[in-house]
Structure 1
Amino acid sequence: MNNQMEMIAHKREDGTAQTVVEHLEGTADLAEQFAIPPLKNLLKNSGLLHDVGKYQKSFQERIQGKNIRVDHSTCGAITAEHDFDAFEALILEYIIAGHHAGIPDGGDLADQPSETATLSARLKKTDFDDWSQYKHEVHCLPSDNYALMHYFNFLNSTKEEVIDKFTFLVRYCYSCLVDADSLDTEQFCDQIKREPLTSRFENCLSRLNQRFSHFICTTELQKARSRIQAQAYESIMKDAEVYLMNMPTGSGKTLCSAKCALTKAITEKKKRIIYVIPYNSIIDQTAQEFETIFGEDAEILRHQSTYDIEDKEDATDVYKVRFSQATENWDADFIITTAVQFFETTFSNKRSRLRKMHNMADSVIIFDEAHLMPLDFFQPCLESVAYLTRYFGSQAIFLTATMPNYKDLLHRYGLKDLVIQDLITDQSDFHYFDKCEYCDLGMVSPELIYGKASQAPSALIVVNSRKTAKALYEDFGGKDQKNLYHLSTHMTKIDIEDTIQTIKSQLEAIRKHPEKKQAPLIVISTSLIEAGVDLDFHIAFREYTGLDSILQTGGRCNREGSDPNKGQVFTFSLEGQTRRADDIRTSTAKDLLRNESNILDSRCITQYYDTVYYFNEDAMTKNAMYRHPKCGGDPTSIPFASYDGSIIDSLDESVVVPNTEKIQKVIEKSKYTSLSKKDYRHLQRAACNVNRREFEELKQQGVVETNQFGVTVLTNLSYYHRDVGIVTEGEDIFI
């Protein structure tokens, strides 16, 4: 056996070896395949260099069984530093150095390897065995620094733009490399050849058109819906990078966006369609609707924390394996995921997270409820959209009934010359969908709210806190009051879903048999009911909050337009509550409610968002990479590892309520061993939320315990009631 053959990258259990050069070339070919055309040479080179450190004698001893630690990834980064010009070299250094542990912080020129693990420090390391044999087996492709810098327009960008754009570019390149490395390693070591989830877009479009052909179009509202949708179908054929689909509630946004996405994917030959949705409840509805329409023509990947393919009864074992594999790197052409999953991927430095990022390229990406872009990550989110559409071959559709001025916002926080197209330019038919009128009550008593609510067959009351929801529920009679329901995250997800299903059934019965006399149906909820829950009440009440949330509540009043008169939505504040200063969302909404005759008018909605964004500009830009305190102002110092891209920063604690045998078994298992993803999903559904103060009260009373794996369990079930959820005082027991 010659020296080259002796240099081993991986060994199977049966002793079969993969040489280093075989692994380098296999990884390089895949990374090149994944990359957009301008980056193919760079990514091929990354694959060729990422494991050259395995040519070290010490690594070969390790793979033969010697129990030693060997740093092999830094060798590839040092090689890139010496062999390539600055721009390409720096990208290669970051992604190769971090291809196992995650992209490192760039660090400072003075960093030393004995003190820190930044890229700057690691490039100074010298305690390696010779790895120069790679030069006899590895032949990198020529690079063109200027062409890359020109394609990404770095030469005409500000210092801040260079930092953020370079950050995104490095994460994308890292994604290509680590997915290629994982797949080549898996294929050799586990002898697995993956089969992606596939869809037939032409067939899906045909099925969708067939669905549309069955819709009745006789009423004025139905005709208006058809005319609005026709505008979208015509405008989607225009050339743009981002499309804005501003359509009123009830106008068929979801199916209209699906037709636009399929049309674009087919005509532009895009590789995949990605739906990005803010709430799991909306994903559930959207996925079920698409699966019903598209049938076997679409193998839809649902990537969300609350979904487990194991729960799909008609899925074969082979399909379950393919589905689970596809969640790792999004090797599917029809994906539905959450906004948190999508954007936190683009903000990460971790191998497991970033592995799928390269499959966001060359896609049609639909952002449902686009007005809910997280405020604290507003600029990074819009930059991600802008970079994907300008440089990585994707096209985006922003979808909402309350559209902010995204033309200006994308130009200000994304790219100033981004090409943006309105899909709906004529809003003259919008008034047909004004199925509610909004009335401001001011400060009122709970008794007045109850009096008005009980006069209608059904009423929804949405308040801003769990404390208020529970207090109103008890004021109105609690569990002794017939047809009175409470919803808040003090309840487990299982009980929330069961309660919503009961409410939905009662609402349908009331609509179907209005002549039947019965106690009014009254639901008191926190804002969780605004998260894509499809309910239709006769009247609604909304405690003062932002205009977008008020309109979301309005979307659950006379939703189907079945009432001959417009539904009524009342805004209010409650007497006797501790008064806090209104935030900018609430104060702006109050001003519009008092001064405008129709808050559904697009002018009001634009004014609302303009005001909110103006007063929150610092928050909207604070998580841009260029503002990070460790960022030294140039690409060599980007703090990839120190950057916290967590969009959800909850102040709540999660407590599992073991009130079913299944959950009790999982909790018992958690005392002795780590849990599977499936186990955690079961626990998530049986968990409720409490704030830190409530959590401390429960701890002091000794009714919650947290085990070694971080699972907190309610140990006294008298502290949980299915109608209101967890409480901080248990029931008295008399003996």
Structure 2
Amino acid sequence: MEYYAKSKKRKLSEEEKEIIKIKLQCFLLNYSDLLSEKEKRIVNNGIEKLNIEAEGEKQKRLKEHQDDIVKCAEMFFLQYGAYFTEKEKNLVIEACRIHDLGKANLLFQMVVQPKLKMIFKDDKNESQIPHGFLSAISISEEEFLKWSELFEKEDFSPFITAVYYHHDREDNYESGEIRKYCKKYYQPYLEEYCGREQTKIYCRNKNRLLFRNVSNKSKFEVAPEIWNEYLVVKGLLNKFDYAVSAEYAEAECVSDLQDKKLKKNIEQVFSGKELRPAQKYMKDHKNDNVVVIAPTGSGKTEAALLWLDGEKGFYTLPLKVSSNAIYDRIKKKYFYEDVALLHSDSMSKYMSEETEDIQERYIRSRMLAQPLTVCTVDQLFKFVYRALGTEVFAATLKYSKIVLDEIQSYSPQVIATIIYGLKMIQDLGGKFAVITATFPPVLSHFMSLYGLSDGKEYQFVDFSKSSINDEESLRHWIKIRKTEIDIDEILEQGEEKKVLVICNTVRRAQEIYYELYKRNAEVHTLHSRFVRKDRAILEEKIKEFSESPEDTGIWVTTQIVEASLDIDFDILHTEMCSVDSLLQRLGRCNRKGRYIPEKANIIVYDNRNGVGSRAVYEEEIYNRSIKCLKKYENMLFTEEMKTAYINEVYDIDAIKGTKYYMEIEKYLKLFKEIRPTEYKKIAVDKEFRNIESITVIPDSIYDSNQGFLEDGIEVLKTAYIGPEVKNIIRTKITDLTLGMPIYSARLYAVDRGCIGQSGTKRILHIHRIPSQYEFDVENFSGRGLILEKKEDEAIFV
């Protein structure tokens, strides 16, 4: 019989097409005013596609599918083969060749060929054994060793594990059960498919697996080099399988290895100008792992891009909004179109652009297929948790360079994840560059403990000292006050200057904003308790305000402006916080060194807001930060002083007993001992966020958009609506929402039922909240979501 790789795509009836067309036409008619011209075109294209009678799809045969994946692998190695050994290339190609052999079992073929159910009626309700498991027991170690003279016995376990678990399936099957299944449903058909008799099954291969996907708390004891070999084979097998299944011939998009377009475009922009020290250093050390301290305004973004030197790269930042800003900068300033954006809201960003190939670009960014991707770290470092399905990230980083911007901004848990991940990347052969305004000694301490030493695994250079005599670096003068924020002083300064106020909690930001607003100040506020569309408006507004020479006034914000927005104010009033956050906040004031201050332009309020248990800042680090800051009061605060300041706060001996230090230590130990399958891929996302949260929509927003929400959800529930249309609707709906921790939600009358519930299936995970919401889109005023009770402020920053 014929053997196929997957089911044939179902063809819609005329009646089904008509139902879908009517729904889309009604949606377009009713909500045309909410859609951009581009979005209207996409919906109309969705309707037009239904009018075109598609030719009957050819169902792909199993042999053709296997050949396509092998070809995809071979084409990949033509581009990126220099990053892999000959053994690694052969292991990957052989895994691609045999990974789907298990699909030649009768029960799988009955699923992809429903007509077979009429022939084998007695077997149609039998349960399948996953085809990956069958593929892995279809070859012997002896046969494996004959495939290449480079293969050794030690390679068999990582190879067979990669094939066995190329899909994430629980393994509750005993050898006897598998033998019985194979005798009836697999061996006779495998013989027919392969065209040879006496095809054996090797259930003993199960004993050679590196791990089993079962509930087992046994210690993880696999040598790092064996684990890395598994990561490469499994990760690339998944990468090529995903690409071919999505009907792409190649796993990677156009490469910049030969043309080096981005590098050339940057050099063209800098033509006639001398590169700054950090930029020249990173350009000259493109073949090294580096940790570079470069102050704000030293061109470290361009330094990192020059270091990439056309190789496949990932540029990571702490926040989505800062990722968006760097992505725009690369596209618009350096005219580089082959850059992708990857974070949880990247579709929304793609929707705002002029290009039409939104879905294509989104899919390829999710597949890590572009030569340069700007992203948040949670998108890449999941492989540290050894969850099935995360191997593709490690394998991709083997032939890539990764840039980590402002590493000190992360929580101790994420810092530990990055340090452990960088060691794995270095062992695999990938390269990293840490570029930061500050680099606390505690980070180099832990990097050294885990095998990343200065001068050996990476090169360290500090450019903050070299800028001490540079007038542009003399930007800040600090005054400390042990009081609450001075409203009167801010009002007076706001009449003639640009004044930025940064609070540690949303509650305090709302209170300060409201006090200023009641006194008729020219004031706006920006924090995380605005729905997405309003927050996006405010982010653009604060950037416009910052760039306008004539505008004066006041913006009251939270930590979200620390490293995410390229803004420059004249005066900063900030609540005291941890040293790393404080130095980031300083970068929002006199950022471009427009003047040398002769008196305080940074007012720091030591009021302990947001400090302590369940708060934003750990008390011990806060206390050390304020204590060490006092020696720099009432003087120009140079870049060299800032480095000395953060080094003193994070002195190894002084902070060993702090929660900050012990958290990093705890997670590094966890990653060393963690067992594969201990975490599921979906659970890793929660670990990165380190908090349980839900998506909410304020009642007032829901009420004013009820028709759109209900009709939009109805379209989302409709089968066979194109992904482009669904993405438009889903993005429009999520733009009306914001995130909220479950802890806080329990304090409020949050509707625990989901908007968009369809039976037991959830179309969207959105809950209603009755709290007041303020925002006036005409004058950009309002406090956002107002929570009167004392909630966990740590998430709303």
CA 1:206–1:46: 2 relative to 1, 3 Å: closer
After TM superposition, list the pairs within 5 Å mapping 1:44-123 onto structure 2. Answer: 44-65=93-114, 66=117, 67-68=124-125, 69-71=127-129, 72-79=131-138, 87-100=154-167, 102=168, 117-118=170-171
Counterpart contact for 1:538–1:568, Cα < 8 Å: yes
Counterpart contact for 2:108–2:128, Cα < 8 Å: yes
Give the alignment partner of residue 387 of structure 1, picking from 411, 417, 424. 424
Residue 690 of structure 2 is aligned to residue 649 of structure 1 = yes
Cα distance in 2 for partners of 1:437, 1:21 equals 70
CA 1:366–1:54: 2 relative to 1, 3 Å: same
Cα distance in 2 for partners of 1:26, 1:591 equals 63
Residue 367 of structure 2 is aligned to residue 291 of structure 1 = no
Give the alignment partner of residue 601 of structure 2, picking from 556, 568, 574. 568
Deviates more, 1:330-339 or 1:559-568: 559-568
CA 1:617–1:664: 2 relative to 1, 3 Å: farther
CA 1:403–1:523: 2 relative to 1, 3 Å: same
Counterpart contact for 2:382–2:393, Cα < 8 Å: no
Amino acid at match of 1:464: N
Residue 306 of structure 2 is aligned to residue 259 of structure 1 = yes
Counterpart contact for 2:88–2:229, Cα < 8 Å: no
**Cα-to-partner distance string for 1:698-731 (whole Å, 9 max, x where unaligned):** 427x79974423433547685444511112479x
Amino acid at match of 2:786: V
DSSP-derived class of the 2:369 partner: coil
Residue 629 of structure 2 is aligned to residue 593 of structure 1 = yes
Cα distance in 2 for partners of 1:703, 1:331 equals 38
1:196 match: 253
Counterpart contact for 1:377–1:621, Cα < 8 Å: no
Counterpart contact for 1:375–1:620, Cα < 8 Å: yes
Cα distance in 1 for partners of 2:596, 2:582 equals 22
Deviates more, 1:206-215 or 1:483-492: 206-215
1:220 match: none
2:433 match: 397
1:665 match: 708
| Aligned-residue offset at 1:447 | 5.0
CA 1:643–1:324: 2 relative to 1, 3 Å: closer
1:725 match: 784
CA 1:506–1:53: 2 relative to 1, 3 Å: closer
Q: Mind listing any 5+ residue stretches in structure 2 that lack a counterpart?
A: 10-55, 118-123, 145-151, 201-218, 718-722, 777-781, 790-797
| Aligned-residue offset at 1:551 | 0.9
DSSP-derived class of the 2:354 partner: coil
Residue 375 of structure 2 is aligned to residue 337 of structure 1 = yes
**Cα-to-partner distance string for 1:55-75 (whole Å, 9 max, x where unaligned):** 333334444323454222211
CA 1:528–1:500: 2 relative to 1, 3 Å: same
Amino acid at match of 2:270: F
Residue 270 of structure 2 is aligned to residue 212 of structure 1 = yes
After TM superposition, list the pairs within 5 Å mapping 1:192-591 onto structure 2. Answer: 196-199=253-256, 201-213=259-271, 226-234=276-284, 236=285, 239-240=287-288, 242-262=289-309, 265=310, 270=311, 272-295=312-335, 298-308=337-347, 311=351, 313-317=353-357, 320=358, 322-344=360-382, 347=385, 349=387, 351=389, 355=392, 357-392=394-429, 394-405=430-441, 406-415=443-452, 419-424=457-462, 427-432=465-470, 433-444=473-484, 446-447=486-487, 450=490, 457-474=497-514, 476-478=515-517, 481-509=520-548, 511-512=549-550, 521-565=553-597, 568-574=601-607, 583-591=619-627
CA 1:86–1:463: 2 relative to 1, 3 Å: farther
1:152 match: none
- Give TM-score scaled by structure 1 length: 0.77
- Give TM-score scaled by structure 2 length: 0.72
Cα distance in 1 for partners of 2:398, 2:661 equals 29
CA 1:310–1:411: 2 relative to 1, 3 Å: closer
Cα distance in 1 for partners of 2:534, 2:431 equals 39
Counterpart contact for 1:402–1:605, Cα < 8 Å: yes
After TM superposition, list the pairs within 5 Å mapping 1:168-179 onto structure 2. Answer: 169-179=229-239
- How many corresponding residue pairs? 654
Residue 734 of structure 2 is aligned to residue 679 of structure 1 = no
Counterpart contact for 1:628–1:643, Cα < 8 Å: no
Counterpart contact for 2:341–2:375, Cα < 8 Å: yes
Give % identity. Answer: 16
Cα distance in 2 for partners of 1:545, 1:729 equals 24
Counterpart contact for 1:456–1:539, Cα < 8 Å: no
2:766 match: 712
Deviates more, 1:360-369 or 1:494-503: 494-503
CA 1:528–1:307: 2 relative to 1, 3 Å: same
Counterpart contact for 2:500–2:569, Cα < 8 Å: yes
Amino acid at match of 2:588: R
DSSP-derived class of the 2:477 partner: strand
| Aligned-residue offset at 1:243 | 0.8
Amino acid at match of 1:711: H
| Aligned-residue offset at 1:249 | 0.6
DSSP-derived class of the 1:323 partner: helix
CA 1:668–1:729: 2 relative to 1, 3 Å: farther
Counterpart contact for 2:387–2:678, Cα < 8 Å: no
| Aligned-residue offset at 1:415 | 4.5
**Cα-to-partner distance string for 1:418-475 (whole Å, 9 max, x where unaligned):** 521135568222453130022221244655764785586232221111111122223x
CA 1:363–1:450: 2 relative to 1, 3 Å: same
Cα distance in 2 for partners of 1:173, 1:462 equals 48
Amino acid at match of 1:361: K
Cα distance in 2 for partners of 1:458, 1:699 equals 39
**Cα-to-partner distance string for 1:370-392 (whole Å, 9 max, x where unaligned):** 22344214333223222223323
Amino acid at match of 1:607: E
DSSP-derived class of the 1:428 partner: helix
Give the alignment partner of residue 738 of structure 2, picking from 675, 684, 688. 688
Cα distance in 2 for partners of 1:281, 1:55 equals 48
**Cα-to-partner distance string for 1:534-560 (whole Å, 9 max, x where unaligned):** 222222122221111101111111112
CA 1:572–1:163: 2 relative to 1, 3 Å: farther
Cα distance in 1 for partners of 2:393, 2:426 equals 17
DSSP-derived class of the 1:213 partner: coil
| Aligned-residue offset at 1:182 | 3.0
| Aligned-residue offset at 1:251 | 1.2
Cα distance in 2 for partners of 1:61, 1:493 equals 46
Cα distance in 1 for partners of 2:638, 2:176 equals 59
Amino acid at match of 1:571: V
Cα distance in 2 for partners of 1:19, 1:579 equals 62
Q: Mind listing any 5+ residue stretches in structure 1 that lack a counterpart?
A: 105-116, 141-158, 218-224, 514-519, 632-636, 731-735
Amino acid at match of 2:280: A
